Structure 1
Amino acid sequence: MTINISECINAVIKGSRNLQFTALVKSSYFCLGEIFSRNGSKALAQLQVGAKFSQTLMKVIEFNSKYVNTMNVYQFDQSRTNFTIEELAAVPGSRQKNYQVLLDEGKCDCGYFQALHIPCRHVLASCSHARLDWKRFVHLVYRMESVFNVYRSEFRPIGHEDD
């Protein structure tokens, strides 16, 4: 998280070295204004074509879906919320072979599901097995309406200092 924040700040301040403090603030303000305008336009365009989720989320879901067919899913309750997943094939970055998924609690042993609130490959396998829609397990922050609302605010031009 700290690395991501510092990379964002570095991207905003890039090209602003050796400036006075007020010039640095003004440069940052204009850079952020451009970023908000550009990202707001992208989010609005995706909303207008009917996208429900961000493109980044859809790429993650597509990547995680590749592994669904390489797992055995065992259901342990009638409400279809408690599963054990057995990975049959080696998955890059995988530490273990068996994972417990508790859909009603938003938990998976891999930790990915509760950390990012995005269905991991184990949750996708559980949903596929139980014929549940994985979209209901995605946090609201990943919906395009939420993304667009972040960029809805507009930056106003800064007036001259003497005014």
Structure 2
Amino acid sequence: MRATYERLQQLFIRKGREAMAGLNSGQQWSHHLVRAIEKLRESIPRLRVTHCDRQAKVFTVDELEATEEWGTFIDPVYSMESVFNEYRVEFPPIPDEQFWPEWHGTTVRPNPLM
């Protein structure tokens, strides 16, 4: 358990530093997100419905320019700032085992309604 906890702590430190470096360089989105979006942009036609008449079943569709800004369609939770805030969690040290509560094993409590 201690080894897993310490590896997770190291991962959070490394990912937090990566996110901070991205923020300091002015990066708004992660490299993984940008690469995925650019890959999709190559294969998917960029269309926009400009007029829709549901009764007549008529749609007017225009092709978007290649310079259309995609960042406006992405939830802010995927921004580098949000990612950095997630990795800022501090891990308290694991206390010595003598301070752990006593373990009596798993207790099974059946649900009487079932």
TM-score by length of 2: 0.66
- For residue 77 of structure 1, what is the amino acid of its counterpart? H
Show structure 1 runs of 5+ residues with no match. Answer: 1-24, 86-124
**Count, aligned residues:** 93
Shift of 1:46: 0.4
Q: Greater RCO between the two (CA within 8 Å, min separation 6)?
A: 2
Q: CA RMSD in A?
A: 2.9
Residue identity (%) = 32
Query: What aligned pairs does 1:1-163 form with structure 2 within 5 A after superposition?
Result: 25-67=1-43, 71=45, 73=47, 75-77=49-51, 84=61, 126=64, 128=65, 132-162=68-98
Residue 77 of structure 1 and its aligned partner are, at CA, apart by 2.7
Question: Alpha-carbon deviation of 1:132?
Answer: 4.5
1:33-91 Cα shifts (integer Å, max 9, x gaps): 011011001000000000000110010122122235xx47464339xxx8758xxxxxx
- C-alpha distance in 2, partners of 1:44/1:73? 36
- Higher helix fraction (1 or 2): 1
Unmatched 5+ stretches in structure 2: 53-58, 100-114
Within 2, Cα distance between the matches of 1:153 and 1:144? 15
Distance of 1:33 and 1:140 partners within structure 2: 25
